[in-house]
């Protein structure tokens, strides 16, 4: 799922944030691209999608050689918070339901 997000360092009065987008998103985390700011592993960031916000921990950062853009892996630190507006419950494939 690719959606635009706004990301900023949580717990600071610094209003600086950046626009990024998800490459993947699940009920417990996401992989972001387009990051322009430097965040360290373990830092807590606030991610906003539309009018919903949640806190996430940065679990990895990968810089693109020759570019200011970075990829980030983040995990949600607020249990049961879903800012994506999607239902991530696993649906059983009808093939899995068949008994042989």
Look up the domain containing 61 and give its range.
4-97
Total structural domains within the chain? 1
Query: What is the reported pLDDT for 94?
Result: 65
Which CATH number goes with the domain that contains 35? Answer: 2.40.10.220
Q: Which helix (H) or strand (E) holds 95?
A: helix 94-97
pLDDT of residue 64: 79
Amino acid 93: pLDDT: 64
Q: Which residues of 51-78 are buried (b: 16+ CB within 10 A; e: fewer)?
A: eebbebbbeebeeeeeeeebbbbbebee
Q: What angle do CA 85, 87, 88 make, to 5 degrees?
A: 120
pTM over 0.85: no
Place of tokens 């799922």: 1
Q: What is the chain's pLDDT, residue by residue, as a tens digit (100 residues)?
A: 689 999 998 887 767 888 999 999 988 899 999 887 778 999 999 999 999 999 999 999 998 788 888 899 999 999 888 898 776 666 666 666 666 5
Question: What pLDDT does residue 75 have?
Answer: 96
Residue 46: CA atoms inside 13 Å, Cβ hemisphere, count? 15
């Amino acid at each position: 799922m690719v959606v635009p997000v706004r990301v900023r360092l949580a717990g600071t009065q610094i209003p600086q944030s950046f626009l990024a987008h998800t490459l993947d998103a699940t009920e417990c985390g996401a992989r972001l691209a387009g990051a322009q700011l430097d965040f360290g592993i373990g830092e807590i960031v606030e991610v906003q999608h539309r009018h919903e916000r949640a806190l996430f921990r940065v679990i990895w950062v990968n810089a693109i050689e020759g570019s200011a853009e970075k990829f980030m892996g983040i995990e949600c630190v607020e249990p049961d918070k879903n800012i994506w507006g999607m239902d991530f419950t696993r649906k059983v494939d009808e093939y899995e339901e068949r008994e042989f």
